[in-house]
């Protein structure tokens, strides 16, 4: 029982991580069954997300995520992306939970 409790507590204690940077590249897939519909890369990606960040193809609000990232890129301003350390990574890309202007 103690082991199960420790496993549950360690999963819950994973906090969100915010990574801010200037967008270097945006990729978007219009259709199909791609694992990611939007892929955002910073000029300097954090080591935890060396391949950048993604949002799944079927995600709600992915148009808004793309719009915020594109606006930041065009303005040459930083944008912050929140990820959870326990979220599913695909090829060193972290799944976007939240995007915001700093």
Residues 31, 39: Cα–Cα separation, whole Å: 14
Residues 97, 26: Cα–Cα separation, whole Å: 17
Q: How confident is the model at residue 9 (pLDDT cuts 50, 70, 90)?
A: very low
User: Structure pTM?
Assistant: 0.81
Query: In Å, how far are 2, 36, 75, 101 from 97, measured between CA atoms?
Result: 31, 13, 23, 14
**Residue 2 or residue 97, greater confidence:** 97
Backbone dihedral region of 31: left (phi > 0), alpha (psi from -120 to 50 degrees) or beta? beta
Mean pLDDT of 83-90: 78
pLDDT the model gives residue 86: 63
Mean pLDDT of 12-30: 86
**Residue 22 or residue 58, greater confidence:** 22
Residues 72, 25: Cα–Cα separation, whole Å: 11
């Amino acid at each position: 029982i103690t082991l199960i409790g420790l496993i549950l507590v360690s999963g819950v204690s994973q906090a969100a991580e915010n990574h801010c940077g200037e967008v270097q590249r945006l990729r978007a897939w219009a259709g199909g069954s791609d694992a990611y519909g939007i892929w955002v890369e910073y000029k300097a990606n954090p080591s935890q997300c060396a391949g950048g960040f993604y949002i799944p193809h079927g995600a709600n609000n992915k148009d808004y995520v793309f719009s915020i990232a594109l606006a930041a890129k065009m303005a040459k301003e930083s944008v912050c992306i929140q990820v959870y350390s326990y979220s599913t990574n695909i090829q060193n890309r972290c799944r976007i939970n939240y995007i915001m202007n700093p």
